[in-house]
Amino acid sequence: MFVDRVRIHARAGDGGDGVICFHREKFVPRGGPDGGDGGRGGDVVLEVDPQINNLIDLRFRPHARAGHGGKGGGNNCTGKNGKPCVLKVPAGTVVYSLPPGEDGEPLADLTRPGETHVLCRGGRGGRGNARFASSVRQTPRYAEEGQPGETGEFILVLKSIAQVGLVGLPNAGKSSLLAALSAAKPKIAPYPFTTLQPSIGVVGSAEENRFTVADIPGLVEGAHAGKGLGHDFLRHIERCAILLLLIDAAGTEGRDPVDDYRLLRKELREYDPALARRPFLVVANKADLPESKARLSALRSASRKQVLAVSAKTGEGIPGLISSLREILAP
Ligand SMILES: Nc1nc2c(ncn2[C@@H]2O[C@H](COP(=O)(O)OP(=O)(O)OP(=O)(O)O)[C@@H](O)[C@H]2O)c(=O)[nH]1
Ligand SMILES: [Mg+2]
């Protein structure tokens, strides 16, 4: 199961109470106040863990509670701090408060491994009576209570992070292309909607020119309005630097590649005009099939772009595609 949206309830720990206590020791008369402070309540913290790719753990554990601070002790002992509650999230997690803030802006957008965000702060510990002693009040008989920890409801939404996003109709061969480009092993089958969840593959092994590619479920006409699976998953390519419009050039489903190209452009535009302005490459897949040859030139003139012909099946054109992508991605 792939979970990319969860609602959670978080409660930070309360601060511990300060105590009222007076020093007692043989031969030390009127030892004075020595009640310690309470400990701090634990925070609820989100932390990016590069090992995880979705929010499923939080779906099953939607209540996050951090530990309370301990009570102060005699002899000026400060109470223990409450244990923080650290929730691991994938890179690309966007945090919203519930109800949403006035501007609807997210509270945080966690992208880098190890990045953290404090969702709810633990309460401060109360001060013990030792803190209130002064020359004119030598035996204070009061101490503070700990402050309550913050609580809140939040929505976490995952918007995957990859440099290249694969966009195409069902069966265009997006998953096959991801498998040809990277070591990822997505499910590939000759029926539409084989891919039900986004997956990300890494292309190249050298650190300096490695890049990531996201495969999402196929887009259908009306995807921007919620048809098919496409709409829900378009947000996973929102952050991609390049979109790769993958078209079945052989028209194996009896479709026309030029129509497919126009449909993809239209769906992207209607979902988000900013996405339609993103740099994109047009890639014609299934170049191994003879039908694709004749349709390639029609696709070239319709898109007024250079169209790269590849075959995810035979590997034809794949090295050229990788170098074109690297060229665009290079800063
Ligand atoms: N001949 C040929 N067939 C291909 C090529 N690429 C993919 N296919 C076939 O096309 C079918 C669909 O491939 P997938 O990779 O599952 O397509 P997809 O775009 O991921 O499809 P969805 O996940 O359903 O949207 C499979 O039967 C593949 O074997 C290619 O280059 N040449
Ligand atoms: Mg697929």
pLDDT of residue 229: 64
Residue nearest to atom 12 of ligand 1 (CA): 171
| Range among 183-197, 229-243, 301-315 rated most confident | 301-315
Phi/psi of residue 129, each to 5°? -70, -20
Residue percentage of the chain with pLDDT more than 90? 61
Residue percentage of the chain with pLDDT more than 70? 97
Q: CB within 8 A of 196, min separation 6: which ones?
A: 2, 217, 229
pLDDT of residue 308: 93
Residue nearest to atom 6 of ligand 1 (CA): 173
Q: What ligand is nearest to the CA atom of residue 288?
A: 1
Residue nearest to atom 32 of ligand 1 (CA): 286
Per-domain residue ranges of the chain? 1-158, 164-329
For the domain made up of 1-158, give the CATH fold: Spo0b-associated Gtp-binding Protein; Chain: A, (2.70.210)
Residue nearest to atom 13 of ligand 1 (CA): 173
CA of 182 to the centre of ligand 1 (A): 16
- The 10s digit of each residue's pLDDT in 141-176 is 999 999 999 999 999 999 888 899 999 999 999 999
Q: Report the distance separating Cα 124 and Cα 314, nearest Å.
A: 64
Q: What ligand is nearest to the CA atom of residue 244?
A: 1
Closest CA to 117 of 81, 148, 91: 91
Tell me the pLDDT band of 231, cut-offs 50, 70 and 90: low
- The 10s digit of each residue's pLDDT in 28-60 is 888 899 999 999 999 999 999 988 888 999 999
CA of 202 to the centre of ligand 2 (A): 16
Left, alpha or beta for 237 (phi > 0: left; psi -120 to 50: alpha)? alpha
pLDDT at 230 over 60: no
**Residue whose token pair is 């092994």:** 205
Element (H, E) at 307: strand 307-309
Q: What ligand is nearest to the CA atom of residue 253?
A: 1
HSE, side-chain direction, 13 A CA sphere, residue 288:
9
For ligand 1, mutation pick of 178, 188, 296, 311 (most atoms within 8 Å of CB): 188
Tell me the pLDDT band of 213, cut-offs 50, 70 and 90: very high
For ligand 1, mutation pick of 169, 171, 314, 321 (most atoms within 8 Å of CB): 171
Closest CA to 242 of 166, 299, 182: 166
Nearest ligand 1 atom to alpha carbon 188 = 16
- The 10s digit of each residue's pLDDT in 272-323 is 899 889 999 999 999 999 888 888 888 898 888 889 999 999 999 999 999 9
pLDDT at 199 over 90: no
CA of 187 to the centre of ligand 2 (A): 7
For the whole prediction, is pTM greater than 0.85? Answer: no
Q: Report the distance separating Cα 41 and Cα 146, nearest Å.
A: 9
Pocket-forming residues, ligand 1, beta carbon under 6 Å: 168, 170-176, 188-190, 192-195, 217-218, 285-286, 288-289, 311-313
Nearest ligand 1 atom to alpha carbon 187 = 16
CATH number of this structure's domain 164-329: 3.40.50.300
Left, alpha or beta for 193 (phi > 0: left; psi -120 to 50: alpha)? left
- Average pLDDT for the chain: 90
Tell me the pLDDT band of 93, cut-offs 50, 70 and 90: very high
